[in-house]
Amino acid sequence: MSIKPIKDIKLNVRPVSVVLYHDYVFEGPCRFGEGPQLTYDFDKTVNLMMCKAFEESLTDASVFDPKKINFLPHILIERNEEFIVKDEDMEKVGEDIENVDAFYIHVGMSRTYDFMIEMAERFNKPVILGPTMAIDTITTAAIAATGRKVYPVRTVQDVARHFDVLRVKKMMNNLAVLCAARLNSNRSFPSAPDGFLSTEDVTKRMGIRFRYTDPHEILDSTVPRPVQTAYDEETTNHTTPGRIGLNPNDEDMAVIEKITDEFIAGAAEVEMDRELIMRSVKAWYVVNKFMDHLDCNAFTIPCPDVCATRRLNKEKITFCLTHSLNQEIGIPSACEYDIPALVTQAILMGFSGKAPYMGNCEFGNIPQGDDPGAFWSAMFVHEASKNEDIPFLQKQQAEKGGDYVIVTHAVPNRKFKGFDAENAPYAIRSFARSGFGATIRYDFKQDIGQVVTLMRIDPLCRKFFIAKGEVIGGIGYKDTNCSEGVVVKIRDHADFFRKQSYFGNHVPLVYGDYVEELKALAEEFDMEVVEA
Amino acid sequence: MSYLNVLKRLKAADEVSAAEVKAILSMDHPSEGQVYPHLRGYLLSRFLLDDSVQTDDLKKLVSSSISKSLEISEGDLDVTDLSDRCISAPSVETKLALAMLKFEEALGIKVDVMERVNCVTVADYAGVVSRYL
């Protein structure tokens, strides 16, 4: 398959050095020194030494991650004290401009402001000036006044942070969401009416594209069809009779069986039949064939809207595992047709390089004593949840104090610590109490003390809701269904709830602290930040 | 250090660097190996450093010199290197370029700019200079 996960997107940066050598030896109000300091040789030596140091700094992987940034060849623009902007120099800077995402400008010794301003105006690409020793604000103010994007920096770490924001912005511009719509196309009324009111607005603001398919076509395509003949209704799908579908053939089935066996072999506990697990793996595989076919790299499908057709029950499939496995390979994938949650996932994976989690958000303060309350009693039915997890969380909360939120859904994954990290330990249990619908069960207790960043976008796509918290435990590892989640200590749950109420239910999260990065991205998209 | 002592030190440094140049000029087509000790001696004297400095890296020699005279660590130099010329040139490159140009002037040679810029160590520069003599 040739799906292009957004996690692999790099920012193409063109480094440009603009330097000035005085042709004549003289001193004046903007040039001072004596002896060799006033020579062309001195100007050129110092400037080229600085350019060399600049070029070397681009290879410092501790600052500029080569997995994220692709530096194009460094361009050197040399001029004299006549301050002429030459077309031939602009042509060098603008060559192959459609593949340039940003300029990184090294300002050499002396005055080259006019060249940088014209560059920004002509090519309309974001400009980041390298840290210099003096008066950067001259250029930033002048470029900003033209309406072009410019980013002030004090250190190379600032430069890298701006690149990261631009890279995530580029990811959004390259995100194409496959929406398997049923009762509505921008949001699911039965489960995620807090979705975007208008996906057009999302496209306008973030550049994200949306493509649509029918859940019945996907479900029809999960039936293996070794041979399909065009125009033949017998060998093709019910919903697209006579048309060759994306159903698994024998070759695909061999791959699906292999993935299933590896998935089972890697699990610490398996409480499902292989056949039923394979149905979920097959659904994931077919969804990927659809994304490949439709040039998409993200996926969402409604739950209740499709559940109501009874086809999920008939096919013994839920899409929980599809979402988990997609997230592990850098494909945003949201439960319940929750497009804001999907876009949030994309942003979080962009900054973190880790697979995100998403779930229903409830306030997780458990009453002390034997009766944990109706929510906890109804949601978590396994003995281990009731007799071990809940008392453990009560103890944690009594010891640590403070406020908590619980994020629950059956879509954890094995790459919370990074796409390149080893798979985390996991179990396989069903979503349905009757045994179908494979889900990954992840014991969040192993991450106690770790920081997470939570986020959601509002239905109008105008605001980011951002919070930071600390994992204090998990629940539902032994359970089935959506009864699985992480409990996070937050600053103030009343404040969290009041603010979240204008954003919606599912709150995706990712391990690590990315609050500042998210704020910078919000500014980039001209969106407001609401922090809890 | 008192002003008088500084002047004495600068005068002594001038004498040492002049002697190093003279030693190079006294040789007929000196090799890199022959230029090297005198070049190193020249640079140490220009940068007011003594023989205890181990590095052969040109920029590190300059950093040592500046940080020593400012009584700050070399790490701090990176964040305090402010231009006094209103034109964004860092002190290290400025001082190194001046030392090289003055050395070449004293020897009566003019090294190609790119060859000069590509020198990382004293040995590199000794090799380049020897080819011009």
Return d(Cα B89, Cα A49) in angstroms, integer: 10
Return d(Cα A16, Cα A102) in angstroms, integer: 10
Per-residue tokens: A342: 């999907």
Return d(Cα B85, Cα A135) in angstroms, integer: 12
User: Given the DSSP bridges, would you call strands A528-531 and A360-363 parallel, antiparallel or unpaired?
Assistant: unpaired
Q: Would you say A487 and A480 are in contact if contact means Cβ atoms under 8 Å apart?
A: no
A161 is a domain residue = no
User: Given the DSSP bridges, would you call strands A403-408 and A360-363 parallel, antiparallel or unpaired?
Assistant: antiparallel
Instruction: Tell me how far CA of residue A483 lies from CA of A110, A411, A450, B28, in angstroms.
Output: 64, 10, 21, 88
User: Is B114 in CB contact (< 8 Å) with chain A?
Assistant: yes
**Helix or strand run (H / E) with residue B17:** helix B3-25
Q: What is the mean pLDDT of chain B?
A: 87
Helix, strand, coil percentages (3-state) for chain B, rounded to 5, are 70, 0, 30
Query: Are residues A185 and A141 part of one domain?
Result: no
Q: What is the pLDDT of residue A111?
A: 80
Among candidates B89, B100, B116 on the partner chain, residue whose Cβ is nearest the Cβ of A109: B89
Smallest CA-to-CA distance from A46 within B84, B65, B94, B77 is with B94
Q: What is the pLDDT of residue A449?
A: 97
Domain that includes residue A122, residue range: 6-155
Q: What is the pLDDT of residue B77?
A: 60
Average pLDDT on B102-130 reads 96
Q: Would you say A300 and A142 are in contact if contact means Cβ atoms under 8 Å apart?
A: no
Average pLDDT on B91-120 reads 94
Query: Are residues A345 and A226 part of one domain?
Result: yes
Query: Are residues A416 and A274 part of one domain?
Result: yes
Return d(Cα A89, Cα A76) in angstroms, integer: 9
3-state secondary structure of A500: helix
Query: Are residues A319 and A368 part of one domain?
Result: yes
Query: Are residues A342 and A264 part of one domain?
Result: yes
Q: Are A134 and B116 inside 8 Å of each other by CB?
A: no
Size of interface A-B (CB pairs under 8 A): 66
Question: For residue B81, which residues of chain A lie inside 8 Å, CB to CB?
Answer: 133
Side chain identity at residue A409, one-letter code: H
Q: Are A134 and B117 inside 8 Å of each other by CB?
A: no
Among candidates A35, A44, A134 on the partner chain, residue whose Cβ is nearest the Cβ of B88: A134
Return d(Cα B71, Cα A493) in angstroms, integer: 52
Domain count, chain A: 2
Smallest CA-to-CA distance from A339 within A199, A191, A174, A462 is with A199
Smallest CA-to-CA distance from A363 within A403, A398, A402, A329 is with A403
Among candidates B87, B88, B93 on the partner chain, residue whose Cβ is nearest the Cβ of A49: B93
Return d(Cα A359, Cα A179) in angstroms, integer: 19
Query: Are residues A139 and A66 part of one domain?
Result: yes
Given A121, A155, A189, the domain boundary residue is: A155
Q: Are B86 and A30 inside 8 Å of each other by CB?
A: yes
Q: What is the pLDDT of residue B79?
A: 53
Among candidates B82, B86, B113 on the partner chain, residue whose Cβ is nearest the Cβ of A45: B113
Instruction: Tell me how far CA of residue A494 lies from CA of A37, A237, A302, A473, in angstroms.
Output: 65, 51, 30, 20
Return d(Cα A369, Cα A98) in angstroms, integer: 64
User: Is A108 in CB contact (< 8 Å) with chain B?
Assistant: yes
Query: Are residues A520 and A377 part of one domain?
Result: yes
Burial class (CB in 10 A: 0-12, 13-18, 19+), A145: exposed
Q: What is the pLDDT of residue A390?
A: 93
3-state secondary structure of A37: helix
Q: What is the dihedral of CA A421, A425, A431, A432, to 10 degrees?
A: 160
Mean pLDDT by 10 residues, chain A (532 residues): 95 95 89 86 94 94 96 95 94 97 88 90 93 76 93 90 97 98 93 96 98 97 97 96 97 98 98 98 98 98 94 96 98 98 98 97 87 86 91 92 94 98 98 96 97 98 98 95 94 96 97 98 97 98
Return d(Cα B104, Cα B129) in angstroms, integer: 8
The DSSP secondary-structure symbol of A437 reads S
**Smallest Cα distance from B74 to chain A, Å:** 17
User: Is B88 in CB contact (< 8 Å) with chain A?
Assistant: yes
**Smallest Cα distance from A36 to chain B, Å:** 7
Question: For residue A44, which residues of chain B lie inside 8 Å, CB to CB?
Answer: 113
Query: Are residues A206 and A149 part of one domain?
Result: no
How confident is the model over B44-86, as pLDDT tens digits?
Answer: 999 999 888 899 999 999 998 888 877 776 666 665 555 545 5
Q: What is the pLDDT of residue B76?
A: 63
Query: Are residues A69 and A201 part of one domain?
Result: no
A168 is a domain residue = no
Q: What is the pLDDT of residue B8?
A: 85
Angle at A247 between CA A242 and CA A249, to 5 degrees: 110
Q: What is the pLDDT of residue B106?
A: 95
Given A104, A124, A155, the domain boundary residue is: A155
Domain boundaries, chain B: 3-132
**Smallest Cα distance from B101 to chain A, Å:** 7
Q: Are A48 and B113 inside 8 Å of each other by CB?
A: yes
Residue A166 makes CB contacts below 8 A (sequence gap 6+) with A11, A101, A102, A126, A524
In this structure, how many other beta carbons lie within 10 angstroms of the beta carbon of residue B118? Answer: 14
DSSP state string for A278-329: HHHHHHHHHHHHHHHHTT-SEEE--SHHHHTTTHHHHHT--SHHHHHHHHHT
- At A485, give phi and psi (nearest 5°): -175, 180
In DSSP terms, which residues pair with A14 in a beta bridge?
A103
Question: For residue A39, which residues of chain B lie inside 8 Å, CB to CB?
Answer: 101
Smallest CA-to-CA distance from A323 within A180, A483, A473 is with A180
Return d(Cα A424, Cα A429) in angstroms, integer: 16
Q: What is the pLDDT of residue A197?
A: 97
Q: Would you say A175 and A332 are in contact if contact means Cβ atoms under 8 Å apart?
A: yes
Query: Are residues A199 and A244 part of one domain?
Result: yes
Q: What is the pLDDT of residue A367?
A: 86
Query: Are residues A229 and A136 part of one domain?
Result: no
Question: For residue B113, which residues of chain A lie inside 8 Å, CB to CB?
Answer: 41, 44-45, 48
Q: What is the pLDDT of residue A1?
A: 83
Question: For residue A133, which residues of chain B lie inside 8 Å, CB to CB?
Answer: 81-83, 88-90
3-state secondary structure of A129: strand
Query: Are residues A89 and A212 part of one domain?
Result: no
User: Is A387 in CB contact (< 8 Å) with chain B?
Assistant: no
User: How would you label A235-263 residue by residue, b for 16+ Cβ within 10 Å and e otherwise?
Assistant: bbbeebeeeebbbbeeebbeebeebbeeb
